[in-house]
Amino acid sequence: MTLPSPLPEQPALSFSGVAKLYKMYASPLQVAVDQLGLRRLPFRKRPEIPVFSALRGLNLSIRRGERVCIVGRNGSGKTTMLKLATGAVAPSEGAIERNGTVQALMSVAGGFHPDLTGFQNIEAALSQSGLTGQRLRDAIADVVAFTELGLHINQPFGVYSLGMQARTQFAVATAIQPDILVIDEVLGAGDGYFAVKSANRMRGLVDSGCTILLVSHDATQILQYCERVIWLREGRVHQDGPAEAVLAAYQAEMEDIAAAHGGAAARIEEATDPFDLPASLDTEFVAEAIRAAERIDGEPVPITRVNGRTVMSYPGKPGLRIAGIEMRASPARMTGLVVGDELELTVRLSSATGGSFAITPQLRIYSLSGERFASAGGELIKLDDLPAGAETTFRMVLGPLLLGAQHYLLSLAIDDAAAKADSAAHYDLWSRFGCLNYAPSNDSDPPLVHMNGMWHYPDRPPEDARLAARQ
């Protein structure tokens, strides 16, 4: 008698011909017209809406218990793939099969209400995951114990530091043993002590046979948790294989790209990373917050860059305008700035009417909420007898950069040094012309500012002498 062949085990996740397309709407009105089907009306022909392909032709199968990391440059489709895996978004083409429960850890504080206490958010999140009765009570107790928040557990979640928020969300996401755990670059949960504690918790999930789909830029983290790496490039699978081999190939390409760009000026008009504000943060709220902080009057003049995005110029007195800004970081990095790097700006000015000008440049650095963190003012510059249409340049070096590893927006004003307090104070101002994006850091609660200082101790030589002795 011949025994029947065993049925093949169902994969935890499978993607079959999956594509995700996004329409690039130019305005909220265009969104409404398209969603209501008014573009199809015969009385007016409307232009086609351009489409962006975040993912194309994705064919993948992930086995039960497999630990997989997705790598790729910004915009390659990593987060889109995770959202498709969780069911948060639907594919534009193809099919996705999920076999088992899915738990997602996609962003710090995602889904947690700032006005509810930490305890209330924990209880609500675990209840939504399907826990009831004693299982719910046990899971709540586990999360509360893991976070070690003490009395803070009954404070509003919105007043928590980023580290407290990260550890709370991490504890909730890992309190339940799902069949599939999806994580998007938020494994760091607090300081070094909690990083070790979180790693032990992750190892427990790994050992339990949970399927893990992870996005990370941390090579150590990838090799610690994952056995397979999928390298996405421009929305397609470029390589798929053992973690060490694929990760080595990916890192080699990143080093080649960094070397090719080393020392080359990055024109802000070309939206070169790490100086461009990420599209996900380029919102109306951010624009209005910075505009209010700068107390700008009048209507902006949009200046279109090569990639279609715009810089907003707010002209003041006639005669002198900003013609362009180039930025360069030292050392050159593809993953973002690091605390202590140096930033160089080269500014081109154009004389519209000709004449002599006395100016002072002002670089302003803002948070995304409109707080001015720092300013860097220049000395008086005299531009004598400029003919109409003439251009001149000046350069500024800012460093070392000691701001904490967050996102910061840059604005540049060319002030009239001779202006009175009650008159137009500037010739031109470029608002939000660039962004300081920092490389991923293991510090989930970074300081706002780093401070350099010399430490002196009793019965020891001064620190500067000790440093000189080591050289």
> Could you report the per-residue pLDDT of 312-348, keeping only the tens digit for each?
888 888 888 888 888 888 887 666 777 788 888 888 8
How far apart CA 411 and CA 322 sit, in angstroms, is 12
- pLDDT value, residue 272: 39
At residue 267, does pLDDT exceed 80?
no
Lowest mean pLDDT among 17-21, 34-38, 45-49, 339-343: 45-49
* Model confidence pLDDT, tens digit, residues 431-458: 888 888 776 555 545 677 777 666 667 7
Cα-flanking dihedrals φ and ψ of residue 284, to 5°? -65, -35
Reported as a pLDDT band with limits 50, 70 and 90, residue 281 is low
- Domain edges within the chain: 13-256, 266-436
Reported as a pLDDT band with limits 50, 70 and 90, residue 240 is very high
Lowest mean pLDDT among 7-11, 69-73, 233-237: 7-11
Question: Could you tell me which residues come within 8 angstroms of residue 171 by beta carbon, excluding any fewer than 6 positions away?
Answer: 122, 142, 143, 146, 147, 189, 201
CB atoms within 10 A of CB 411: 25
Q: What is the DSSP letter of 438?
A: B
Average pLDDT over residues 41-59: 73
Which is higher by pLDDT, 27 or 130?
Answer: 130
CATH number of the domain located at residue range(s) 266-436 in this protein: 2.70.50.60
Task: Compute the mean pLDDT over every residue in the chain, rounded to the nearest whole number.
Answer: 77
At residue 213, does pLDDT exceed 50?
yes
Reported as a pLDDT band with limits 50, 70 and 90, residue 109 is very low
Q: What CATH architecture does domain 13-256 belong to?
A: 3-Layer(aba) Sandwich (3.40)
- pLDDT value, residue 1: 46
* Model confidence pLDDT, tens digit, residues 410-437: 899 888 887 755 455 788 888 888 888 7
- pLDDT value, residue 5: 47
Which is higher by pLDDT, 459 or 358?
Answer: 358
Q: What is the DSSP letter of 425?
A: -
3-class secondary structure for 84-125?
HHHCCCCCCEEEEEECCCEEEECCCCCCCCCCCEHHHHHHHH
How far apart CA 413 and CA 378 sit, in angstroms, is 11
Question: Could you tell me which residues come within 8 angstroms of residue 33 by beta carbon, excluding any fewer than 6 positions away?
Answer: 39, 46
